[in-house]
Amino acid sequence: YVKMEDSESQLLSDEYQPPETLLGSLDIFVFSLIAGLLIYWFFFRKKTEPVLDLKTFPAGNIEPTQIFLLAKDAHRYGMKGMATDPEEYDMSELSRLKEIPNSMAVFCMATYGEGDPTDNAQEFYDWMQGTDDDLEGVNFAVFGLGNKTYEHFNATGNYTDKRLAELGGKRVFDLGLGDDDSNLEEDFISWKEQFWPAVCEFFGVEATGEESSIRQFELVVHNDINMNQVYTGEMGRLKSFQTQKPPFDSKNLFLAPVTVNRKLNKGGNRHLMHIELDIMDSKIRYDAGDHVAVYPTNDAAVVNRIGERLGVDLDTVISLKNLDEESNKKHPFPCPSTYRTALTHYLDINNTPRKNVLYELSQYTSDPQEQENMRKMASASPEGKALYQSWVLDSERNILAILEDLPSLNPPVDHLCELLPRLQARYYSIASSNKVHPTSIHICAVVIEYTTKTGRFYKGVATNWLKNKEVTENGHKHTVPMYVRRSQFRLPFKPSNPVIMIGPGTGIAPFVGFIQERAWQKEQGKDVGETILYFGCRHKNEDFLYQQELEEFERAGVLTQLNVAFSRDQEHKIYVQHLLKKNKEQLWKLIHSNNAHIYVCGDARNMARDVHTAFYEIAEEVGGLTHTQAVDYFKKLMTKGRYSQDVWS
């Protein structure tokens, strides 16, 4: 998700007095809330670093630029718009928005996990659930960000739209539902094209025809500045990497030393790794099933090539200052900074640029054909969509590839930095139990590397960055900026409850922690129920992850059953869902009679869906349920917290 810069004012506080400049000639104010933008470019994501880098976020992201363009679009209708983050304001004061004449709020709400809101929308979500405030007179619209491969598609957006109406708010335009499994940006653009006519009709205004300025920030070059005042990669407090002070969170990261970095697989052409982070001096606590957020840095070679291509001194100290002095978002990333720091720590230069970026950059092409193609790709025409799909998405061209393949494109580097989305944290399921490893956090991940259709070698940002943090004998320890994100993926409160864990590939990560914890519980003399694992990999002799540890747990009786599907060790592929069906009588008894808890971790698009289907078939074949009854049965298990998923698309 995206979090904006901290604001020193409370927009909706008792002290707030709407400035005259917000009302404009038509007294119309569009208040855009960015409430949970997930950027797996997710809704970044996908074919680029599809495995673990952003694994727990199923809702996609509309890049922040799109949201700010929505606010800037308001100027074409004589309106004043702003974009902000709900966690920066007291949303219980939302009812006071009606005190601003002809105003409305636009909520962009992302969903992740089991239908949950993002961190920065959690307080607002909790408020909606508990409040009985009267929102009569508050005008609103909602766009949801989700992914249809997940069970709770757009749950947060749906709830926000429904709840605001229940509280008396006036829905100005229908709920929009973006699907990142298809094309989230296209969904948003299509919704926006219908949104504005509805807004104009509601308020009785017409478009002025005036285009908003494409620049939101102005460049300030600092020729004489104390370098102690310049950001070097910190997310929040200046010099926070030099002086570490708990508590640690998304804006105050802990630099965790890497103490172990070993290859997990014995063969094959992939690199799967186990990494251990030392959190001894951090006061960080975690539970098995939580996620660790790590903040990677971009490849220095790619950053240098961008600087060379644009002919700029990357060590120039700059600030990008918001042209709207009333906006709470003063800078697009921590400033002052250097171009090198911005392109290394703050900006996403590895994923394919969105359409709005291509459109904005097209003005800097000197070749008419190149400009035409860029603008065509940014359009909603069938031809433009097809060209964008083939030339950008299918070919996986990042911003450097686009600059290299369009020789006449020479944008100012400051405008490029304004347009590029923020580099996002990567979330990994913690592969350890705090009961056994209270001073370390373990990560299991696969390094993403392959050749694209243009012949370029693609390297996943976070996984290659982690791979290179090798442990040396010279005393120097590499560090990883990180914090812990709490999860609802939890072992049963009663250790005696049986657990059924399904996690192919790196989806085994949280279950390593679960099994460690069950072993600890057993050592404490507790009655520990059956602990069953279904794991899948390609070849037994290549990528049977944690084989030695798992077999030792099995011998010790902690792991009651270790079921492994080696998909490519025989002519016909065998996956975890096949093993589930093989043990259908036992599984149904555990689930239906013994209160077993089911956990699924891994790929949402195929594996999780196939596992769902296998359980439905088991309920039908062994339990005698109809298909509809089977679906309802497992939905109830999810509601009760007995069927949990930690999946990614």
Residue 30: per-residue pLDDT: 54
Residue 210: per-residue pLDDT: 54
**Do 462 and 428 form a contact (C-beta atoms < 8 A)?**
no
Query: Average pLDDT for residues 4-12, to the nearest whole number?
Result: 29
Task: Report which of 252, 237, 240, 232 is spatially closest to residue 483, judged by C-alpha positions.
Answer: 252
Q: Determine whether domain 298-419 maps to CATH 1.20.990.10.
A: yes
348 carries an active-site annotation: no
Residue 184: per-residue pLDDT: 81
pLDDT digits (tens, 9 = 90+) for 204-238: 887 665 555 568 899 999 999 999 999 999 999 99
* Ranges 32-46, 89-103, 295-309, 394-408: which has the least confidence: 32-46
Q: Find the helix or strand (DSSP H, E) in which 578 lies.
A: helix 576-582
Of the candidates 290, 543, 646, 649, the residue annotated as catalytic is 646
**Do 76 and 210 form a contact (C-beta atoms < 8 A)?**
yes
Q: In degrees to the nearest 10, what's the CA dihedral of 637, 640, 643, 648?
A: 120
Of the candidates 108, 433, 648, 649, the residue annotated as catalytic is 648
Query: Average pLDDT for residues 182-209, to the nearest whole number?
Result: 82
Query: Average pLDDT for residues 54-72, to the nearest whole number?
Result: 50
The class of domain 244-296+425-487 in CATH terms is mainly beta
Residue 88: per-residue pLDDT: 78
Residues of the chain with CATH 3.40.50.80: 499-647
648 carries an active-site annotation: yes
Q: Could you tell me the pTM of the whole model?
A: 0.80
Of the candidates 95, 429, 487, 649, the residue annotated as catalytic is 429
pLDDT score of 121 more than 80: yes
Residues of the chain with CATH 2.40.30.10: 244-296+425-487
Encoded tokens for 436: 């056994």
pLDDT score of 10 more than 50: no
Cα separation of 494 and 481, whole Å? 35
Residue 417: per-residue pLDDT: 97
pLDDT score of 353 more than 90: yes
Task: Report which of 159, 205, 193, 182 is spatially closest to residue 66, judged by C-alpha positions.
Answer: 193
Cα separation of 209 and 75, whole Å? 9
Angular region, 95: left φ>0, alpha ψ -120 to 50, beta rest = alpha
* DSSP reduced 3-state for 322: strand
Specify the DSSP class assigned to residue 252.
Answer: B
Residues of the chain with CATH 3.40.50.360: 52-203
Kindly report the average pLDDT of the chain as a whole number: 87
Residue 20: per-residue pLDDT: 35
Residue 64: per-residue pLDDT: 56
pLDDT band at 165 (very low <50, low <70, confident <90, very high): very high
- Highest mean pLDDT of the ranges 19-33, 97-111, 220-234: 220-234
Task: Report which of 635, 643, 578 is spatially closest to residue 607, judged by C-alpha positions.
Answer: 578
Which superfamily, per CATH, for 52-203? Flavodoxin domain (3.40.50.360)
Of the candidates 32, 601, 644, 649, the residue annotated as catalytic is 601
Residue 46: per-residue pLDDT: 33
391 carries an active-site annotation: no
Query: Average pLDDT for residues 463-478, to the nearest whole number?
Result: 92
Q: Topology of domain 499-647, per CATH?
A: Rossmann fold (3.40.50)
pLDDT band at 43 (very low <50, low <70, confident <90, very high): very low
601 carries an active-site annotation: yes
Q: In DSSP terms, which residues pair with 581 in a beta bridge? A: none
Cα separation of 230 and 241, whole Å? 13
pLDDT digits (tens, 9 = 90+) for 612-633: 999 999 999 999 999 999 999 9
pLDDT digits (tens, 9 = 90+) for 574-601: 999 999 999 999 999 999 999 999 999 9
**Do 340 and 315 form a contact (C-beta atoms < 8 A)?**
yes
